[in-house]
Amino acid sequence: MTSPAPPIFNPMDPAFLENPFPFYQLGRRMMPVFHFEQAGIWSVFGYENATNILKDNVTWRSAPPAGPDGAPAPESPMLFSDPPRHTRLRGLVSQAFTPRMIEQLEPRIAQIAAELLDQVVPAGACDIVEALAYPLPVIVIAEILGVPPEDRATFKEWSDTVVAQLGQGLGPDSQRQPPEATFSAMADYFTRMADERRAHPKNDLISGLVAAEVEGSRLSGNELIAMLILLLVAGNETTTNLIGNAVLEFMAHPAELQKVLDDGSLLPSAIEEVLRFSSPVQATVRRAARDIELGGQRIGAGQQTLVWLASANRDEAAFGETAGQFDVTRPLNPRHIAFGLGPHFCLGAPLARMEAKVALDAFLRRCKNFHRAGDGPLPRVPTFVMRGLRQLPIAFDPAM
């Protein structure tokens, strides 16, 4: 079976970052499994194929391939590892990053959201990304890890640098590490913090990770640094995008927003719809462990496959004829895959949901009749792997 020729496609084109959804729809309808020869990578657009790939960590691997001489790939972060190593790493971080710890954070998250809004509500206008969506998750993950307040700006700068590299090197010569200077700075910083916590433990996540042990195994020095860098990026970028995307979708769909304003119990459902409709993480990558046929195409062992989570989340076969519509009352099953699926399901999903719920609840109570200040395209996160805004200026009626 021969796939039709693809459209001209540049995933870093600002026009694509602004609106990738027509491309996803074309992929689902005309080329659900397609090989982009220029990038040396396959693309998967449909919900069924995507979920089957994410659940099967035997056929579809997350770790980089072995070197040309057959030697194992160097140690990779948890996100880019497979069982049994992934199982061990996830078990260790789960000991320190517990559901109980997340539940106990809600009052503090509400306090942070209130303090941030206090600074901008009286003016009746702000950049909601700069004022709330960006600082809240950074403050929260910094406090969880034990990072001092004076280091938060550097912390976020590192995270932005890492995110900007995502998707830059897909294909046979992919590179998954940030620029060397940034990586070295992060490694030095976290090494110092880990050494301090070994000598003087505190009630923070770094102390918990240093002490975590599963069946006599602890995180090595390199594993600990890789874990902290992953938590730094995942702990703020996804939530920043989720909050910003939610405000943007509420403005674009005033009738759906009014449902939430009329019935606050719909806010959790609305957040799930934002995750589905405007997924903060648009894609993830897997590598075929063996030759396999998928969607009528033969994918060779070792070839990479880009799983378009955001396309799967709008698949009419899974979510019905209204999949392309924003509906805050949408039934939750079948569930979206904005946080992934299977062994690599996002460990921080409960925290992201809580932060978004608390932040948006505070925003909706205190900022009435909000609308965009200005028009035209908004600056977006500069990678197709993520969907989020760098700025979102709004005006509103203050409600103290």
pLDDT > 70? residue 74: no
Cα separation, 27 vs 34, whole angstroms: 8
Identify the pLDDT of residue 73: 55
- 388, 280 Cβ separation under 8 angstroms: yes
Distances (CA, A) of 264 to 107, 261, 357: 18, 6, 11
Identify the pLDDT of residue 8: 52
> Which two three-digit tokens encode residue 125?
């206008």
Domain 14-64+82-398 sits in CATH at 1.10.630.10
Q: Where are the domains of the chain?
A: 14-64+82-398
- The 10s digit of each residue's pLDDT in 25-73 is 999 999 999 998 877 899 999 999 999 999 999 999 998 776 555 555 5
Identify the pLDDT of residue 227: 87
Residue 75's pLDDT band, with cuts at 50, 70 and 90, is low
Cα separation, 31 vs 101, whole angstroms: 44
Question: Once rounded to an integer, what is the mean pLDDT over residues 305-324?
Answer: 96
- The 10s digit of each residue's pLDDT in 198-244 is 999 998 889 988 988 777 888 888 888 888 888 887 778 899 999 99
User: Which residues have C-beta within 8 Å of that of residue 373, sequence separation ≥ 6?
Assistant: 125, 393, 394, 395
Identify the pLDDT of residue 67: 56
Question: Once rounded to an integer, what is the mean pLDDT over residues 294-301?
Answer: 94
Three-class SS state of 6: coil
Identify the pLDDT of residue 37: 83
- The 10s digit of each residue's pLDDT in 342-370 is 999 998 899 999 999 999 999 999 999 99
DSSP letters, 147-208, are --GGGHHHHHHHHHHHHHHTTTT-STT---S--HHHHHHHHHHHHHHHHHHHHS--SSHHHH
Q: Tell which wins on pLDDT, 383 or 355.
A: 355
Identify the pLDDT of residue 175: 44
Identify the pLDDT of residue 217: 83
- The 10s digit of each residue's pLDDT in 243-277 is 999 999 999 999 999 999 999 999 999 999 999 99
Identify the pLDDT of residue 241: 95
Q: Mean pLDDT of all residues in the chain? A: 88
Cα separation, 99 vs 101, whole angstroms: 5
Three-class SS state of 46: coil
- The 10s digit of each residue's pLDDT in 131-184 is 999 999 999 998 998 888 898 888 888 877 877 766 555 544 444 445 778 888
Identify the pLDDT of residue 66: 63
pLDDT > 50? residue 321: yes
* Predicted TM-score (pTM) of this structure: 0.90
Residue 322's pLDDT band, with cuts at 50, 70 and 90, is very high
